[in-house]
Structure 1
Amino acid sequence: MQPQSNVLEVGKKLVDYCKRNQPLKAVDELYSEQIESQEAMETPGMPANVRGLEAIRKKNKQWEETMEVHSSQVDGPFPLGDRFAVHFKYDTTDKKTNQRWQMEEVGLYTVKDGKIIKEEFFYTM
């Protein structure tokens, strides 16, 4: 098990990138090549479970292309062992349907050797 301070540092950097709306910079700096991402559900054109940096980049780009974010709130990180959690709140509009909605989710991130190797998202819609 790695030191919790390392996990906390990775978590702080991720939260900082998210607050500055720079998720792709976070992916490039903080994510492992073998990253695994698990969403609570599939969305059109994106499976619930993806692996690898390119799949993560595609997922982030799809979010940017389909959603207009009016405001966001990012709280955390909340570390425990080799993991940390982040609480997200979004006020968004789907660019295709113009439907506006609020979303809350918790991201649980697992860190190994200073890189995020797994992200899991918990939410309801």
Structure 2
Amino acid sequence: MNTQEIANQLVAVCKAGNFEDALVLYAPDAVSVEAGGPPGQSREAVGLAAIKAKGEWWVANHEVHSMQVAGPWPHGDRFIVGFKIDVTMKATKHRFTMEEMALYTVEGGKIVREEFFYAMG
């Protein structure tokens, strides 16, 4: 698959809310980088198992009320996807709207790196 095809598939999976289904689009040694690490965790998750665990942590700690997905916007071997999420942190019951952009890098027909950009605090 080329970058545009991968981008389109990722956006479709995200819009459907089936994030775990997106893992087939990733290389086994893919790297996921957050703007800030979750409490007690690293900003970087390396490999499919670590990326899956990060997703499971998110689901266990957040209630998503709604999500908008925008894009993709391709640029060579990279593409950007925008997310706007209405979410509540389960532990604190704090509800807020989170906006983030994600930059994905594709090599050999798989996502090898994802980087999330969002305001901290």
How many residues were matched structurally? 120
Q: Which residue of 2 aligns with 1:46?
A: 41
Q: Which residue of 1 aligns with 2:10?
A: 14
Identity within the alignment, %:
47
TM-score by structure 1 length? 0.93
Runs of 4+ off more than 3 Å = none
Q: Distance in 2 between matches of 1:10 and 1:33?
A: 15
C-alpha distance after superposition, 1:18-45 (max 9, x if no partner):
0111111101x10000101111011113
Q: Which residue of 2 aligns with 1:76?
A: 71
Q: Distance in 2 between matches of 1:50 and 1:71?
A: 25
Q: Which runs of 5+ in 2 are unaligned?
A: none
Q: Distance in 2 between matches of 1:47 and 1:73?
A: 26
Aligned to 1:32, the other structure's residue is in SS state strand
